[in-house]
Structure 1
Amino acid sequence: MKNNVVGIRIKELRKSKGWTQSDLATQCQLRDYEMSRETIAKIESGIRLILDTDVVQFALVFNVSIAELFDVPNLKCRLK
């Protein structure tokens, strides 16, 4: 099972903006939040647990509510 559900949503939001993982890392860094492309890849794939501070920062970067980061359609199917 994946270690986080937010990673699924981060990947969707990133792709909807046409950003690469490197682009997202740059957007985080522009907001003084250190995040590497490698860390984003691990979050999106569920390898790395996501911290509460990460959730807040990603919500700011994507200009969405924190709740929206947890809004993953068909969640049960996607966690298998």
Structure 2
Amino acid sequence: MKEEHKTTYKIIGEEIRDLRHNKGWTQKDLANRCRTVNREKISKIENAREDYMLSTLIEICQALGKDVRDLFGKN
């Protein structure tokens, strides 16, 4: 990922973690609700360690019962 986008990835990862924690889910629980995203990928996203496709983000949001736009509403 480009260094100039690192902050955005960090914000998204933190929001996903918060949403997951609010549901009382582990990363494995979230992964089990996704079709193609595993626990390791969720960990990397939450910790802003990996670039990812928009479709991955949409799938995670759907599993959380959220719209991808909800990730950007706090700031």
TM class, shorter-length: 0.7 to 0.9
TM-score for both structures, normalised by structure 1? 0.73
What is the total number of aligned residue pairs between the two structures? 69
Which structure dedicates a bigger proportion of its chain to helix? 2
| TM-score for the superposition, normalised by structure 2 | 0.78
Structure 2 segments unaligned to the other structure (5+ residues): 1-5
Aligned residue type for 2:17: K
Q: 1:68 aligns with which of 57, 67, 70?
A: 70
RMSD, aligned CA: 1.7
Give yes or no for contact 1:2–1:45 (8 Å, CA) kept in 2.
no
Specify which of 31, 38, 44 is matched with residue 46 of structure 2.
Answer: 44
Structure 1, unaligned stretches of length 5 or more? 74-80
Note the C-alpha offset of 1:70.
Answer: 2.1
Higher relative contact order (CA 8 A, sep 6+): 1
